[in-house]
């Protein structure tokens, strides 16, 4: 499948191991992984940051294989899930920073064009999350109030 706003059709990526069991050398239990995830979430870290820390510091390559659930599902079960999905949050954050840049640099036509692309991605992703029930059906992205969502 191609990209949304670029001509690329790349599908290059790393592949997961065939075996879905945790490796034999991993000595951390499923409950310890869940506790660690909750502890990191209470510090205010995003799910992707939690996964990176567990991979780099604790040797847990795939949390799903060890704990039996994905990070966001574990957070949801413990009532620690973020109110906005992380990909939508990051797009809104990017749009706010581009808009702030445009306030100082009004003639930057490329930034204005990129902002339009970013906001169209936000609208498309928000439509998906509304249909999936992840965000409320009446949730709407507005550039005027976006900075309060990110702050």
| 50, 80 contact by CB (below 8 A) | no
pLDDT band for position 4 (cuts 50, 70, 90): confident
Compute φ and ψ for 82, nearest 5 degrees: -65, 150
Find the mean pLDDT for residues 83-95. 96
Residue 40 gets the label, from left (phi > 0), alpha (psi -120 to 50) or beta, of: alpha
Q: What is the pLDDT of residues 33-63, one digit of tens each?
A: 999 999 999 999 999 999 999 999 999 999 9
Residues 6+ apart with CB under 8 A from 58: 28, 33, 36
Q: What is the pLDDT of residues 92-121, one digit of tens each?
A: 999 999 999 999 999 999 999 999 999 999
pLDDT band for position 122 (cuts 50, 70, 90): very high
Q: What is the pLDDT of residues 139-149, one digit of tens each?
A: 999 999 999 98
| H-state helical runs in 13-108 | 30-42, 47-58, 63-67, 71-77, 86-104
With 90 as the cut, is the pLDDT of residue 29 above it?
yes
pLDDT band for position 150 (cuts 50, 70, 90): confident
With 90 as the cut, is the pLDDT of residue 1 above it?
no
State the Cα–Cα distance between residues 76 and 151, nearest whole angstrom. Answer: 22
């Amino acid at each position: 499948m191609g990209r949304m706003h670029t001509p690329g059709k790349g599908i290059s990526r790393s592949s997961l191991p065939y075996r879905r069991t945790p490796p034999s050398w991993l000595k951390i239990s499923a409950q310890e992984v869940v506790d660690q995830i909750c502890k990191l979430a209470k510090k205010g870290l995003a799910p992707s940051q939690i996964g990176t820390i567990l991979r780099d510091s604790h040797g847990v390559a795939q949390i799903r294989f060890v704990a039996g659930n994905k990070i966001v599902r574990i957070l949801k079960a413990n009532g620690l899930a973020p109110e906005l999905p992380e990909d939508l949050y990051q797009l809104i954050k990017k749009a706010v920073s581009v808009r702030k840049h445009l306030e100082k640099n009004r003639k930057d036509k490329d930034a204005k064009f990129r902002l339009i692309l970013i906001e169209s991605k936000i609208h498309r992703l928000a439509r998906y999350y509304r249909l999936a029930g992840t965000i409320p059906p009446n949730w709407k992205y507005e550039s005027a109030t976006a900075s309060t969502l990110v702050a």
